Structure 1
Amino acid sequence: MLKKVTVYFTLFVATCFFTHCATIIHGSRQTVVIVCDPKKAAVDIDGINVGYTPYLARLTRKNKHLVKIEMDGYIPYEITLKRKLDGWIFGNIMIGGIIGIAVDAATGSMFSLSPKDVSATLKSTNKVFNPTKDEIYLTVVLRPDANWQKIGQLQKLNTDNNYKKPTF
């Protein structure tokens, strides 16, 4: 009889302890490391500037997050951290903790963010632009955006000897 009570008591305590596995194991926030080459690029998370790379972010698991990394002279880098079902939630399913599943769902602990870390290499815009008031700059683009307004067209030069250079 004592052995039976001990077994039931142990099962009861284990069920109470593991009823919200994901919340106990890793909590409602996830640490995401954000690194970038070059360093010291600005980091925006969900539209809010939070600092510069390298950056360690503690993000809620409950929502997806938009991470934007940008620096002058470089093309901005954007990535969405998506939430996916975390394996620890199955601890609740196996043990039968309905309360634990509800707690994990409410806190967001039943999810993990993917990717776990962000590593970006910013690409240079190759733009060197330091205008002065007495200079005119011309930029040639090989692949123009279809939405741009066209204001001129390059013409092929006539290479005949009769060609006269324009005067300004």
Structure 2
Amino acid sequence: MPFSYSRLAGLALATVALSGCATLTTGSDQSVTVLTDPAGAECRMEREGMTVAIVNPTPGTVQVDKSKNSIVVKCAADGFQDTFATLSSEFQGMTVGNVLFGGIIGVAIDAGSGAMNEYPSQITLLLVPDSFPNDEKRDTFFQSAIDRAEARTEAAVAEIRSKCVDDDGCKREVTLVETSGASEVSQLKSQWATAKVDS
């Protein structure tokens, strides 16, 4: 069979399709900035029981591989309770590059591997003191933290809805934000219940 440029192009396209294409369009890793209030903590990022990155001390930015699995961020600092938060992975949808270079096969591989997913680019964790001088200080600290967490969730949901163009996609994003916010409030309430008072 005579040499054909169209056959060569077809083979090249098939090769790209089989390898997946998210690396061409969005990259297979991303940066995540971890902050704590106050700064100076050591934070370990774990996914499926394996450490993927360490920030020591905060604030700091690290590179993590994209995945469809969540990352748990665990932070510790002297004088504060250990605290944690979850970075949920969000599906980014089909990109132009996936269609042009990877076709349906490339998209399927990227979606299955998590390469088309992305984590939030920044996360802030509130560090809770080991103890408080009195009940009033403790209660004020936690109630203020809960109020801020709920306000952030409401603001994020409002922003999503204001930019909504796809009802199903918006519902998923709203659910993700609300679940994350509820988890943060639940953790704060748990820490409130176990916080020590010096007196």
Could you state the TM-score of these two structures normalised by the residue count of structure 1? 0.55
For residues 45-75 of structure 1, what are the alpha-carbon distances to aligned partners after superposition, in whole Å with 9 as ceiling and x for unaligned? 1164724112212112113211111112112
Give the counterpart of 1:116 among 110, 114, 121: 121
Alignment of 1:11-160 (within 5 A): 16=13, 21-46=21-46, 48=51, 50-52=54-56, 53-62=58-67, 63-87=69-93, 89-91=94-96, 92=98, 97-105=103-111, 107-113=113-119, 115-126=120-131
CA contact (8 A) 1:29 1:60 kept: yes
CA contact (8 A) 1:44 1:68 kept: yes
Q: Which moved more, 1:32-41 or 1:45-54?
A: 45-54
Shift of residue 79, structure 1, vs aligned partner: 1.1
Amino acid at match of 2:23: T
Shift of residue 28, structure 1, vs aligned partner: 1.4
Instruction: State the distance in 1 between where 2:32 and 2:25 align.
Output: 17
Between Structure 1 and Structure 2, whose CA radius of gyration is higher? 1
Distance change (3 Å), C-alpha of 1:95 and 1:45: closer
Instruction: State the distance in 1 between where 2:124 and 2:106 align.
Output: 34
Instruction: State the distance in 1 between where 2:42 and 2:72 align.
Output: 14
CA contact (8 A) 1:23 1:107 kept: no
Amino acid at match of 1:57: V
Higher relative contact order (CA 8 A, sep 6+): 1
Amino acid at match of 2:129: S
Aligned-residue CA RMSD (Å): 3.5
Instruction: State the distance in 2 between where 1:95 and 1:70 align.
Output: 44
CA contact (8 A) 1:40 1:54 kept: yes
Amino acid at match of 2:110: D
Instruction: State the distance in 2 between where 1:66 and 1:144 align.
Output: 22
Structure 1 gap ranges (5+): 1-8, 129-141, 146-168
Amino acid at match of 1:38: P
Instruction: State the distance in 2 between where 1:121 and 1:82 align.
Output: 18
Secondary structure of the residue aligned to 1:44 is strand
Shift of residue 121, structure 1, vs aligned partner: 2.5
Distance change (3 Å), C-alpha of 1:99 and 1:144: closer
Percent identity for Structure 1 against Structure 2: 29
Partner of 2:181: none
Shift of residue 125, structure 1, vs aligned partner: 2.1
Shift of residue 95, structure 1, vs aligned partner: 8.1
Secondary structure of the residue aligned to 2:30 is strand
Instruction: State the distance in 1 between where 2:29 and 2:92 align.
Output: 13
Higher helix share: 2
Tell me the matched-pair count. 121
